[in-house]
Amino acid sequence: MAIKEFMSPVPGIFYTQPSPDEPVYKQVGDVVSEGDSLCLVEVMKSFHTIVSDTSGTFKGYLVENEDEVSPGQVLLEIEISE
Amino acid sequence: MSIKVITPGLSTSVQDLGRPGYYHLGIPLSGGMDRYALRVSNLLVGNDEGAAVLEAAFMGPELLFNKDAIVAVTGAGMLPKVDGEAKSTWASFVIKAGQTLSFDFLTSGARAYIAVSGGIDVPIILGSRSTYTLGALGGFEGRGLAAQDELPINECDISKHTEKSIDESLRNLPQKPGELRFIPGIYWHRITEKSQATFINDTWKVAPEADRIGYRFKGGEALDFVDREQAFGAGSDPSNIVDSCYPYGSIQVPSGSEPIVLHRDAVSGGGYFMVGVVISADMDLIGQLQPNKPSTFVPVTMEEALIARRERKEKLSKVRDFLS
């Protein structure tokens, strides 16, 4: 099964939840559909949502919530469904 | 001719060399944050140095061209691609009608300047085509680009154009860590000698909220103020002063905690003390600092600042000579 990596397009602060009092976007093993929101990166006072362009199974975040990220850094992995 | 915006990137706006002359009325300079890169992008495609270009922060747009054009991308390391084929930065290349310009991930710097032969033809407002987003003034409808926008481009004969590039030594990117030279200012005495030393010796980091209005830094030790009875009209916080003008490049430190360098879209006055002003030669570099980038503030004299300004001018003349 192919694994797809999602990279941060921008530098900033990484978030796994839409807001501090909401649950994380995805947990390991969750089903991911095309168009699902996966995480946020905050830069210049705006939040950039990373959206899935594939369907599959969520394999996990590779960055801790609220960590700093750089452009091109891998944030999470999805196992693509055949 | 026009360019269709397929995706706008994160924050992409039309900018030229700015709108000086109205700052006293509260209308900021605007214009490219890295004006050196902006000028060079125009020179590479045969435009006047001050023609309107696109400034793309951290992430490039996707643009569809409906006519042949010459394009150059300078500033940040953000590799341009024409229909997926990689091109170089700091160089001009041809794009044909029907082709799409897109970008790779940012590898260095923060803002790319995208010049198109002829220049972007949005209306001139108060002498400039620059976008002042906060005031919804100038640029494309007073805002950053959005998907489906059609950007008008001035007609221009490109038949005689040859592809050009400039030498690595003439490109301008921040050192590691970013060193920002500044002249200590009229409120420098408001902080203790110990804080004057930590301000200079500490390594600060660009905060993620840094933008065209101001570049915020964090991570250094908070500044302590010399005790005084607050002047009449000044707020109660020791970092407050009686309202004053904020120069472009001035470094204010609200509550003494996080320095903010005011940049092209800054407000022109307020009640925070300023430790000093970043020298004009280093303002372009600020526009190329990514969030989280380590940076230091290095005090210099007016004489050193003027030498630095002269060096920047000479570097630009070298580019002009090289490309003419």
Query: Domains in chain B and their CATH numbers?
Result: 2-166 (no CATH), 178-315 (2.40.100.10)
Substitution target from A5, A7, A43, A73 for chain B, most B beta carbons within 10 A: A43
Residue carrying structure tokens 């170089």: B88
Please check whether residue B3 is in contact with residue B66, taking contact to mean a CB–CB distance below 8 angstroms. Answer: yes
Substitution target from B290, B293, B295 for chain A, most A beta carbons within 10 A: B290
- Round to whole Å and give the CA distance between B53 and B17: 10
**What are the structure tokens assigned to B230, written together?**
């607050």
Number of CB pairs, chain A paired with chain B, less than 8 A apart: 52
Query: Domains in chain A and their CATH numbers?
Result: 3-80 (2.40.50.100)
**What are the structure tokens assigned to B98, written together?**
């029907």
The pLDDT score that the predictor gives to residue B174 is 61
The pLDDT score that the predictor gives to residue B185 is 93
Residue pLDDT, tens place only, B235-255: 889 999 999 999 999 999 999
Residue pLDDT, tens place only, A8-53: 999 999 999 999 999 999 999 999 999 999 999 999 888 999 999 9
- Residue B177 makes CB contacts below 8 A (sequence gap 6+) with B203, B293, B294, B295, B296
Substitution target from A10, A13, A51, A74 for chain B, most B beta carbons within 10 A: A10
Single out the residue of B153, B137, B150 nearest to residue B95, CA to CA.
B153
Single out the residue of A58, A61, A59, A55 nearest to residue A8, CA to CA.
A61
**Spatial strand order in the sheet of A12-15:** A46-51, A37-43, A12-15, A68-69
Please check whether residue B207 is in contact with residue B218, taking contact to mean a CB–CB distance below 8 angstroms. Answer: yes
Chain A residues whose CB is inside 8 A of the B10 CB are: 9-10, 43-44, 46, 48
Residue contact A10–B107, C-beta within 8 A: no
How many C-beta atoms surround the C-beta of residue B94 within 10 A? 15
Profile chain B (324 residues) by mean pLDDT over runs of 10 residues: 95 98 96 97 97 97 96 96 97 97 95 98 98 97 98 92 90 77 96 98 94 97 95 90 95 97 96 97 95 95 97 94 90
Phi then psi for residue B57, to 5 deg, are -90, 125
CA distance A66 to chain B (A): 12
CA distance B108 to chain A (A): 9
- Residue B97 makes CB contacts below 8 A (sequence gap 6+) with B65, B66, B67, B68
Residue of B nearest to A10 (CA): B58
- Nearest by CB to residue B291, choosing from A9, A12, A46, is A12
Which residues of chain B approach chain A closer than 8 Å at the C-beta? 10-11, 57-59, 105-107, 110, 208-211, 290-292
